Structure 1
Amino acid sequence: MAPDSLTKPQMCSLLAKRLRFHIVGALTVSLGVATFCKFAVAEPRKKAYADFYRNYDSTKHFEEM
């Protein structure tokens, strides 16, 4: 087995290639988490506040206190 038959490792632009891959992955994961939080947390919370204040009577609440 001759030493010339071994493939040389890629050294030129290896960091840029790996960073590009990891940045795309990080952006994809962060957008997924942000979308999940919006529809799983924020929208139900806004709906709950809207439902509460739809029938809320501040005068009645003040009299009870």
Structure 2
Amino acid sequence: MAPEVLPKPQMRGLLAKRLRFHMFGAFMVYLGVAALYKFGVGEPRKKAYQMKKAGIFQSLK
């Protein structure tokens, strides 16, 4: 009976493969943070500026 042969490890292209995976993950995290900032900070600020411009706030002149 012959000894079991282990498969050779992947050496060529390993960095490129891992970078593709991590770049995809980083891009997904970026999109999530950008959406949270837009709807959590940007939109409320825009709404407040519009309300100020419309004259709703009497104390702000």
Q: TM-score range by the shorter chain?
A: 0.7 to 0.9
Alignment of 1:1-65 (within 5 A): 2=3, 5-55=5-55, 61=61
**SS in structure 1 at match of 2:44:** helix
Deviating above 4 A after TM superposition, structure 1's stretches of 4 or more consecutive aligned residues are: none
Normalising by structure 1, we get a TM-score of: 0.73
Query: Gaps (5+ residues) in structure 2?
Result: none
- Give 1 or 2 for the bigger CA radius of gyration: 1
Identity, in percent, stands at 54
- Which structure has the higher relative contact order (CA within 8 Å, separation 6+)? 2
Query: Gaps (5+ residues) in structure 1?
Result: none
Normalising by structure 2, we get a TM-score of: 0.77
Shift, 1:32, TM fit: 1.2
What is the root-mean-square deviation of aligned Cα atoms in Å?
A: 2.0
**SS in structure 2 at match of 1:5:** coil
Higher helix fraction (1 or 2)? 1
